[in-house]
Structures are given as C-alpha cells and as structure tokens.
Amino acid sequence: MTVVEMEEMILNTSINNRTMNATNIMKISEDLWYMVQSNMEERTFQTQRMLANELNRYKGKGNKYVEDNIWEI
C-alpha cells in the first residue's frame, strides 16, 4: 500500500467518522427534545388536574365570586 493510498483511506475514514458523529449528535438532540416535550406535556396535565381538583373543593360553597371565577376558568 502506498503512502497516497494510506492518506486517502485515513481521509475517507475521518470524513465517515465526522458524518457518523454528526448523525449521532442529531439523533441524541432529537431524543432529548422528545423527552423534554413529553415531560412538559405530562407536567401540564398534572398541573391542570391539580387545579381542577382544587377548584372542585371550592365549588358549591355558596360564594358567588368564587363560583363566577371557577366558571370563567
């Protein structure tokens, strides 16, 4: 194998590694985005559920101001 062939093989390997690294980084980034997004949606749902439960505790207590605000929400 000549020096030129070796240089060419090293260069090709380097390019392939860079491409693979970029692909891996993009995949990791997409996975992280999905995890964050999923977690945000789950937390939003939990917060809405907690708010609904809290509002239900005050509903029907005879306070028109509270009733009007619950209805508005």
How many domains does the chain divide into? 1
pTM for this entry: 0.48
* Whole-angstrom distance, CA of residue 5 vs CA of residue 3: 5
Using one digit for the tens of pLDDT, what is the confidence trace for 18-57?
888 888 888 888 888 888 888 888 888 888 888 888 887 7
Cβ neighbours of residue 66 under 8 Å, at least 6 residues apart?
58, 59
* Highest mean pLDDT, choosing among 32-36, 56-60, 61-65: 32-36
Q: What are phi and psi of 66, to 5 degrees?
A: -65, -45
Q: Which domain holds residue 54?
A: 3-72
